[in-house]
Amino acid sequence: MIGILSFLGFTILVAVIAYVATRSTDEKSSDGYFLGGRSLTAGVIAGSLLLTNLSTEQIVGLNGSAYKDGLSVMAWETLAAMAMVVTAIYLLPRYLKGGLTTVPQFLASRFDTSTKTITSVLFLTGYVVVLLPVILYSGSVAISGMFNVPGLLNVSDGTALVICIWGIGIIGSIYAVFGGLKAVAVSDSINAVGLIIGGILIPVFGLMAIGDGSVFNGLDILMEANPERFDSTGEPGQEVPFSTIFTGMMLVQLFYWGTNQQIIQRALGAKNLAEGQKGLLLAAFLKILGPLILVLPGMIAYHYFNGGLESSDLAYPELVRAVLPKPMVGFFAAVLFGAILSSFNSVLNSSVTLFGIDIYKQHINPSAPEQTIVKYGKIFGVCLALAAMFIAPLIADAGSLFNYLQKINGIYSIPIFTIIAIGYLTKRVPAIAAKIGIVSGSVLYIISEFLVSPNLREKAVETAKASGVTDPDALRLIEADAYPHYLHVMAILFVANMIIMLIIGRFFPREKPFELEYTKQVSIEPFKYVKQVGLLISLIVIGIYIYFAK
């Protein structure tokens, strides 16, 4: 009962503060609703970026990966910091100079309207079909298990899951659809504080459990027991082989932090360029600390349970249940709920933005006043939320879906990043090149990862078994070597698509070179020390890799 009361108290507190902070924002205009009136400051942007990125599929999933592979999976966190530095120095000044509300808006001015529409539809498809239902499902499984909702309400596991899905969905929709970006960003910032505190407590209590009450003794024991698991360089067969850091991993990070509407929308709402850059750099520093929350607990769980868990996905929840003092479970559940809610309402708010600006205003009612755009954007958001709530319970095998989530996102992430990169790096590549780049990138990736790769890997394993190989580790390496890692494939297709687009631009250039105009929406005077701070962040990341390299 104490846990439920603390959970409700913290959640209501966040809602009240978000309401008070957004009362004066004019949300009848598209800037007011979609970008918080272009008034977001560095702290709000950083907190919102952090919480938008984190949810149960990452907190549970990445710790599960660390349980299996050790420290090498920290690349998903540490390289994100370097990607945010690139975004702060190079991409954000161009976004704010052009007065963008959505990333696809740039594609309309650089290429043409149909390119923008195709990109917006790709974003929406990825959000609605995969991301929203997965967030709802995974979050509901976590909350239902933590509070024992089936026993509490005397219902079946399936009914409890549906109740949690609709609870999270409705609350998230209220924030995202009716509150606009500023309500989402403010609530994110508050939850970020709780997530950092709660997230750090798990490894602290875990190390204390290992070290007989001492965190430092626990860390010494952990490192001495399995020193090979503290290697920052991943091996073949693991989730993040070291070579992928220099190929597809960095491309994925640049897409996610620099062009993904769900993320970059926070920085687009900055009151000026300096605040946006400071927000990104602050978030980058926090990302460097991410492995403490998203990797270390999984490694602690491997030692604590002697690697004996049935599934790596159980590592984090089992460690929480084993080491966290019972009176603190309610607070941690509230923090976790905040992370789930943040990811859901952030994706939903970005979907509403994409529909209102890039589809409704562009194709359905071009002469619509801003108040009408916001109105129909909200209606679309309600429909999306309802669809996600109906789809989420149908996800029968969420664990396998999580494993393939990054691969599925690759269908649209790298093609979109390719045309944005070409758009800013060149001035005469035409619209037809962008369309060909999107289609070829998506089709070739689907053929590679969902047709060719599984077939070749399966044949390699069958051949090895026929030759008498039975060792699981050996079979895993043989399977990994049978076809390039999907991150390598992303890099290969990125380069190939750029070459194709550049060749088209060479022979069929656009008539006039593209020039990015300054719309004077906000000041684009940069943060005075953006390059120095960015360099410091990059050196810290490189230093971490060197220190832990074996």
Q: Is residue 541 part of a domain?
A: yes
pLDDT at 447: 93
CA distance 98 to 398: 40
User: Which residue has better confidence, 316 or 147?
Assistant: 316
Q: 224-228, 277-281, 336-340, 386-390 — which is least confidently predicted? A: 336-340
* Mean pLDDT for the chain overall: 82
- Which of the 8 DSSP states describes residue 243? G
Return the structure tokens found at 46.
Answer: 């950083």
pLDDT at 27: 46
pLDDT at 34: 45
Q: Is residue 306 part of a domain?
A: yes
Q: Is residue 24 part of a domain?
A: no
pLDDT at 221: 94
Burial 359-386 (b: 16+ CB within 10 A, else e): bbbbeeeeeeebeebbbbbbebbeebbe
Domain count across the chain: 1
Which residues, other chains included, contact 222 with Cβ-Cβ below 8 Å and sequence gap of 6+? 207, 210, 299, 300, 303
Place of tokens 């916001």: 374
User: The whole model's pTM is what?
Assistant: 0.82
**Number of H helices and number of E strands within the chain?**
27, 0
Which of the residue ranges 38-42, 58-62, 109-113, 149-153 has the most confident prediction, judged by mean pLDDT? Answer: 109-113
Q: Is residue 22 part of a domain?
A: no
Which residues, other chains included, contact 264 with Cβ-Cβ below 8 Å and sequence gap of 6+? 87, 91, 92, 95, 103, 257, 258
- Which of the 8 DSSP states describes residue 234? P
Per DSSP, what are the bridge partners of residue 272? 523
CA distance 54 to 75: 15
How does pLDDT run across 302-348, given as a tens digit for each residue? Answer: 999 998 887 777 788 788 878 888 777 777 777 777 777 777 776 77
CA distance to 277, 289, 537, per residue, from 531 (Å): 10, 21, 10
CB atoms within 10 A of CB 308: 7
**306 lies in which domain range?**
2-12+33-548
- Asked whether 102 and 354 are in contact (CB, 8 A), the reply is yes
Is residue 387 very low, low, confident or very high in pLDDT (cuts 50, 70, 90)? confident
Burial 78-104 (b: 16+ CB within 10 A, else e): bbbbbbbbbbbbebbbebbbbbbbbbb
Q: Is residue 465 part of a domain?
A: yes
Q: Is residue 17 part of a domain?
A: no
CA distance 244 to 489: 10
pLDDT at 476: 83
Q: Is residue 26 part of a domain?
A: no
Q: State yes or no: pLDDT of 216 exceeds 80.
A: yes
* Burial of 323 (C-beta count, 10 Å sphere; 0-12/13-18/19+): buried
**For residue 413, what is the domain's CATH number?**
1.20.1730.10
Q: Is residue 127 part of a domain?
A: yes
Q: Can you spell out the DSSP letters for 139-186?
A: HHHHHHHHHTHHHHHT--HHHHHHHHHHHHHHHHHIIIIIHHHHHHHH
Q: State yes or no: pLDDT of 382 exceeds 70.
A: yes
Q: State yes or no: pLDDT of 541 exceeds 90.
A: yes
